[in-house]
């Protein structure tokens, strides 16, 4: 192999932040002597370009190391039956090792046993198999991919919302392979607290406004208690203080404010109508308004009972951090889709039935392409933030046209190259790390033409 091509492989690996020291004896000049044989590489879905990139990485590694690659690819993400046949074929061909992205976590175990009994080493790439004799797992972390997608979706959508705009919902369309679950879980786990922060911020602002309004009402002639009543007992709340506290609690709770914000609103309202009141009187008024002081006054108890009956009281959970109690209602999870056509139909269905969707998140190439097709057809590119997975050429076109706001790429070339490298090393008796995270990268219209991104997208051009 010539020097230019060898250096190109080094650059590709370095660009993806994979430490060369983890590759043990990463790259040799020319084909090594006294080494050779066949390495089987078995991928998931022949219709998805991601696997072409994996194949390129595996092929470069085999060429570099002097091995013959046996390449196979199933017809779809659910086609594990073909993968069983391919493993049997690899055994028959005398492969030294098998590199596989399994289409099922358990269905391949029997044929894996057949392979390992003959001394064939197995390296797992992209999605994990539930098999205890796997030599190594090489691939991106699906949870992290979802997390990166969520952070960028929040930056593109939540950070740009004005205070007057309603917060929209997130629709999610996952693919049918096992990797979808963690990509969705990672997204929800990361987006939820970011959404909660915004909801809490808005609730606290409403609570503050409610306190100011309650104070203004309490200072009016109708809400002001007689001067003689204020002097009765300095540690006992007056009617004006109780009314101010109750009004603030009701409005702040209705706005979904967290417990601390509700209490702060009540305290502020009380002090606004009774600047000289003692701390005990303020606390008593607040506790009465919150329902925590049964001995405040008989009138307070009756007023609370009336409020509970006529208005239903504070929203359930308001005292347990109410701002986050409805976070789950902001997510709409669609049906899992195995093809682009199915994802297109599901996206159209979700978007036409739910006018409050503001983010559409998809978890692989087919679901991303199907969703983008629906977004384009419904003319929603300007109103829906679309975040996807992988870097099919059509996905990149959607980014450039503004339909797809961004996508997560998994460095498929590296997955193929390093997975095959580990398989060769294991077949030679060398130790390899049990797991290697090849990382994920966010691509959008802003960075798609950057040199580092172009290197990740088109490693063969180096």
Domain shared by 100 and 26, yes or no: yes
pLDDT digit string, tens, across residues 383-423 = 999 999 999 999 999 999 999 999 999 999 999 999 999 99
pLDDT at 156 over 50: yes
Least confident among 1-5, 47-51, 92-96, 167-171: 1-5
User: Both 51 and 89 in a single domain?
Assistant: yes
Instruction: State the pairing for strand pair 169-173/357-362.
Output: parallel
Task: Give, in order, the Cα–Cα distances in Å from 333 to each of 127, 330, 350, 456.
Answer: 22, 10, 9, 31
Model pLDDT, residue 239: 79
Structure letter (DSSP) for residue 23: G
Quick one: pLDDT at residue 220? 58
Q: Which residue has the higher pLDDT, 35 or 202?
A: 202
Q: Does 271 score more than 80 pLDDT?
A: no
Predicted confidence band of residue 299 (pLDDT cuts 50, 70, 90): very low
**Residues 165 and 284 placed together within one structural domain of the fold:** no
Do 418 and 307 share a structural domain?
no
Indicate the pLDDT class of residue 19, thresholds 50, 70 and 90.
very low
Instruction: Kindly report which listed range (75-84, 200-209, 279-288) carries the lowest average pLDDT score.
Output: 200-209
Decide if 451 is inside a domain.
Answer: yes
234 and 293 housed in the same domain: yes
In a domain, 123, yes or no: yes
Distance CA 224, CA 333 (A): 52
User: Does some domain include residue 418?
Assistant: yes
Long-range contacts of 129-134 (CB under 8 A, 24+ apart): 129/100, 129/102, 129/105, 130/105, 130/106
Mean pLDDT of 142-169: 95
The predicted pLDDT at position 281 comes to 86
Nearest residue to 451 via CA among 439, 462, 440: 462
Domain at 420, CATH number: 3.40.50.2300
User: Which residue reads 């990797």 in tokens?
Assistant: 179
pLDDT at 222: 54
Over residues 74-102, the mean pLDDT reads 96
Q: What is the mean pLDDT of the chain?
A: 82
322 pLDDT above the threshold of 50: no
Instruction: State whether 239 and 280 are in the same domain.
Output: yes
Query: How many CB atoms within 10 Å of residue 400?
Result: 12
**Last residue within a domain, chosen from 374, 392, 408:** 408
| Residues facing 39 on adjacent strands | 69, 97
Question: Is there a single domain that holds both residue 133 and residue 159?
Answer: no
Confidence at 318, pLDDT banded by 50, 70, 90: very low
* 189 within some domain: no
pLDDT per residue as tens digits for the range 224-244: 544 444 444 678 888 777 877
Burial class (CB in 10 A: 0-12, 13-18, 19+), 394: middle
Q: What is the pLDDT of residue 306?
A: 34
Domains identified in the chain, total number: 3
| Residue 35 placed within a domain | yes
Tell me which residue range forms the domain holding 132. 3-140+410-461
Tell me if 87 sits within 8 A of 108, measured CB to CB. yes
* pLDDT of residue 213 exceeding 90: no
Determine the Cα–Cα distance for residues 124 and 29; give it in Å rounded to an integer.
Answer: 27
The verdict on 292 and 258 lying in the same domain is yes
User: 199 pLDDT band (50/70/90 cuts)?
Assistant: confident
Is 186 within the bounds of a domain?
Answer: no
Shared-domain flag, residues 136 and 58: yes
Residue 361 in domain: yes
**Residue 190 within a domain:** no
| End-of-domain residue from the set 292, 324, 356 | 324
Handedness of CA 122, 127, 132, 137 (dihedral sign): positive
pLDDT score at 244:
73
Closest CA to 388 of 367, 357, 411, 413: 367
* pLDDT at site 295: 43
How far apart CA 432 and CA 34 sit, in angstroms, is: 21
Please tell me whether residues 116 and 9 are part of one structural domain.
yes
* 414 and 399 both lie in a single domain: no
Mind listing the pLDDT tens digit for each residue in 340-366?
999 999 999 999 999 999 999 999 999
Q: What is the pLDDT of residues 101-154, one digit of tens each?
A: 999 999 999 999 999 999 999 999 999 999 999 999 999 999 999 999 999 999
Give the best-scoring range by mean pLDDT among 191-195, 291-295, 375-379.
375-379
Residue 309 or residue 190, greater confidence: 190
Q: Which residue has the higher pLDDT, 272 or 327?
A: 327
Q: d(Cα 215, Cα 91) in Å, to the nearest integer?
A: 81
At residue 200, the pLDDT reads 82
Hey, what are 370's tokens?
A: 């199907």
Question: What pLDDT was estimated at residue 219?
Answer: 64
Whether pLDDT at 17 is above 90: no
**C-beta separation of 43 from 56 below 8 A:** no
How would DSSP label each residue in 271-329?
HHH-TT--HHHHHHHHHHHHT--TTS-HHHHHHHHHHHHHH--SPTTGGGTGGGTTGGG
Q: What is the dihedral of CA 53, 423, 176, 347, to 10 degrees?
A: -20
Q: Do residue 135 and residue 35 come from a single domain?
A: yes
pTM above 0.95, yes or no: no
pLDDT of residue 18: 44
Query: pLDDT category, 273, cuts 50, 70, 90?
Result: low
Put the strands of the sheet holding 97-100 in their side by side order: 68-73, 38-43, 97-100, 121-125, 136-139, 435-437
Residue ending a domain, among 324, 351, 380, is: 324
pLDDT score for 267: 79
Cα radius of gyration (the chain): 31
Backbone angles phi, psi at 456, to 5 degrees: -70, -35
Using CB atoms within 10 Å of the CB of residue 298, give its burial: 0 to 12 exposed, 13 to 18 middle, 19+ buried: exposed
């Amino acid at each position: 192999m010539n020097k230019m091509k060898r250096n190109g492989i080094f650059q590709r690996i370095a660009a993806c932040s994979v430490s060369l020291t983890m590759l043990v004896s990463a790259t040799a000049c020319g084909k090594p002597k006294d080494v050779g044989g066949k390495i089987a590489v078995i991928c998931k879905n022949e219709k998805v370009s991601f696997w072409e990139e994996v194949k390129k990485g595996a092929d470069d590694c085999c060429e570099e190391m002097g091995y013959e690659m046996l390449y196979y690819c199933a017809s779809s993400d659910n086609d594990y039956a073909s993968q069983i046949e391919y493993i049997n074929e690899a055994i028959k061909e005398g492969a030294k090792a098998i590199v596989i992205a399994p289409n099922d976590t358990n269905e391949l175990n029997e044929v894996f046993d057949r392979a390992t009994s003959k001394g064939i080493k197995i390296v797992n790439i992209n999605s994990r198999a539930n098999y205890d004799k796997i030599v190594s797992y090489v691939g991106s972390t699906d949870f992290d991919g979802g997390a990166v997608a969520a952070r960028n979706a929040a930056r593109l959508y939540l950070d740009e919302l004005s205070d007057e705009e309603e917060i929209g919902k997130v629709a999610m369309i996952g693919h049918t392979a096992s990797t979808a679950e963690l990509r969705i879980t990672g997204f929800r786990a990361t987006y939820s607290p970011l959404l909660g922060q915004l909801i809490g911020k808005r609730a606290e602002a409403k609570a503050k406004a409610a306190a100011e309004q309650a104070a203004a009402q309490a200072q009016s002639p109708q809400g002001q208690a007689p001067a003689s009543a204020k002097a009765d007992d300095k540690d006992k709340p007056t009617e004006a203080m109780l009314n101010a506290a109750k009004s603030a609690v009701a409005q702040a709770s209705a706005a979904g404010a967290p417990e601390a914000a509700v209490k702060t609103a009540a305290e502020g309202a009380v002090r606004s109508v009774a600047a000289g009141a003692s701390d005990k009187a303020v606390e008593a008024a607040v506790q009465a308004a919150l329902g925590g002081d049964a001995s405040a006054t008989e009138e307070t108890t009756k007023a609370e009972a009336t409020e509970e009956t006529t208005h239903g009281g504070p929203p359930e959970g308001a005292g347990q951090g109410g701002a986050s109690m409805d976070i789950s209602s902001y997510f709409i999870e669609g049906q899992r889709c195995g093809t682009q056509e199915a994802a297109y139909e599901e996206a159209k269905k979700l978007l036409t039935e739910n006018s409050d969707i503001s983010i559409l998140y998809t978890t692989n190439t087919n679901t991303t392409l199907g969703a983008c097709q629906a977004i384009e057809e419904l003319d929603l590119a300007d109103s829906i933030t679309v975040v996807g997975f992988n870097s099919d050429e059509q996905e990149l076109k959607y980014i450039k046209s503004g339909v797809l706001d961004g996508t997560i790429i998994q460095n498929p070339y590296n997955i193929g190259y390093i997975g095959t490298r580990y398989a060769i090393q294991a077949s030679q008796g060398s130790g390899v790390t049990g797991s290697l995270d090849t990382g994920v990268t966010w691509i959008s219209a802003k960075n798609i033409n950057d040199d580092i991104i172009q290197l990740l997208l088109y490693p063969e051009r180096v």
